[in-house]
Amino acid sequence: MLIRKLFKFENAHIVRNCTSDRCKRSIHGHSYKVELLLKASKLDHGQMVYDFGLLKGVIKEIFDSFDHAICFWQEDNPEYIQACKTFSARWVALPVSPSAEQFSRIFFFLAQQILKSTITQNGEGDVEVYSVIVHETDTGYAQSFQEDIENAQMGLLSLDKIIFSEQVKSEWSDPDMYEKLKQGILFQNPEVDLQVKI
């Protein structure tokens, strides 16, 4: 079974080496919509794949880190990278170009890592990321699946290579949240008192 949760954010970038002259030479922004699709072969005690309320925690905070931020590819021109850091308090450095395709891979990867590092407490089963769809405009989107995350030709993703600015981290409910994720320190969903015995 699949469930879908929609996230939204505003972001600016340059996509180097693309065909469109405007996209590769000028900073521009988009109103992004990110669809996170989770799958499981069993339901929890609430008869859900995964409670939507739980997606308002660490996953939402990490996804929200991209809101009103500028994203840049770490291989871009050093002067451009420095300008991004100098003139924007909110920035995210990426190991890949900030295209919609790579955003879909990055959000898949981040959600996957968070789910793997979360202790569930309501009978959740084999919940995992099925797919991520990133809408960059109303007319175009990119969708990634597990095989895209593992595809080295698309660029290697690792938690160490995705870097959030100090301003972004300071706005998290736990400024050390990402460091904990990188260190494999587990997050814990709240305990649930069952009203109906199963």
Which residues are annotated as catalytic? Answer: 23, 68, 136
CA distance 157 to 54: 25
Q: Looking at the DSSP assignment, which residues form a beta bridge with residue 49?
A: none
Report the b/e string of 59-95 with b at 16+ CB within 10 A.
bebbbbbbeebbbbbeebeeeebeebeeebebbbbbb
For residue 153, which phi and psi values (nearest 5 degrees)?
A: -65, -20
Identity of the amino acid at 108: F
For residues 195 and 198, what is the distance between their CA atoms, to the nearest angstrom? 9
In angstroms, the CA 149 to CA 112 distance is 10
69: left (phi over 0), alpha (psi -120 to 50) or beta: beta
